[in-house]
Chains A and B, each alone.
Chain A
C-alpha cells in the first residue's frame, strides 16, 4: 500500500464519486438524485486539482483554470436542474421519479 499523496487523493475522489453514484441510483427523490450528480462533479474537480498539484509539470495555473470553468458549468447545471424539478412538480404535484412517467403535461 503506497502512501504517496497522489494515490490518496485519487482514492478520495473515487470514493466521493461512488457515493454520488450510489445516491443518484438509490434514491427516488429528484432533488437527492441531483445532489448525487453534484457530488460526482465535485469528485472530478478533486481529480483536476490532485493532478495539477502532484502530476507531471504543466503550465502553472492549468488545473485551477479547469476547475473554475468546471465549477461554473456545475452551477449552471444545478440551476437548470432545480428549475426543471420545480416545473415537473407543478405538473405532477410530486417529485418522485417513479411518478414522473408521462410526457403529456
Chain B
C-alpha cells in the first residue's frame, strides 16, 4: 500500500473540491426506499428527517442518494402520504 494513497498529509485531511473522502455507506443497505411519484406530495419531510441528509428534491418527487443511503427506513416511516416503500436489495440484483 502506498504511504500516501488516501491522504497527502500526515493527518486525516481531505480536499472536498478534488476528492471527498467519504464512506460508501450505501453498501451497508439491506433495503432501499422506493418512492411512488404519484403519491409524493413534495412536502419534503423525508429530506428533513433523513439522519444523514442525503434526500434531495427531484422534479416530481424526493429521492435518496443511494451511494450513501443506509436504508434505515425513517423516510418511509415519516412520509405522511405513505409514498415510500422499503424494498429488499435482493429485488434489484
Whether chain B is bound by chain A comes out as no
